[in-house]
Amino acid sequence: MSSTSKPHCDPEYYALLEKLQALDFVLVELNLFLDTHPDDLAAIQQFNQLTQERTQLANHFQQLYGPLQNFGRAYSKYPWEWSQAPWPWQV
């Protein structure tokens, strides 16, 4: 993100957040499915592949726009990024 643009003005910000939300939804659903079908190898493989994709996308998002979560789940650039809104859950 350039120093002059704000996340809420950048269409990629919203596109990446939407993709993360979609991945999170699928991962929750797969997690619930695997709770009742623990031997489904295809579902486990899909879960692992989507987990890797989600991790890479979250890392990319955080490099561009700052942390998605606090409490040690994401690094912060200088200055402290949590003082800058909007936060991902506010958009």
Q: What is the mean pLDDT of residues 57-73?
A: 84
- The pLDDT of residue 2: 43
Where exactly are the structural domains of the chain? 9-90
Read off the pLDDT band of 74 (50, 70, 90).
low
Mean pLDDT score across all residues of the chain: 83
- The pLDDT of residue 82: 63
Query: What b/e string do you get for 73-82 counting C-beta neighbours within 10 Å, with b at 16 or more?
Result: ebeeeeeebe
**Between the CA of residue 76 and those of 1, 11, 30, 60, 84, what are the distances in Å?**
15, 22, 30, 13, 11
Digit-coded pLDDT (tens) for 20-64: 999 999 999 999 999 999 999 999 999 999 999 999 999 999 999
Residue 69 has pLDDT above 90, yes or no: no
Which is more confidently placed, 9 or 80?
A: 9
Q: What is the pTM of this model?
A: 0.75
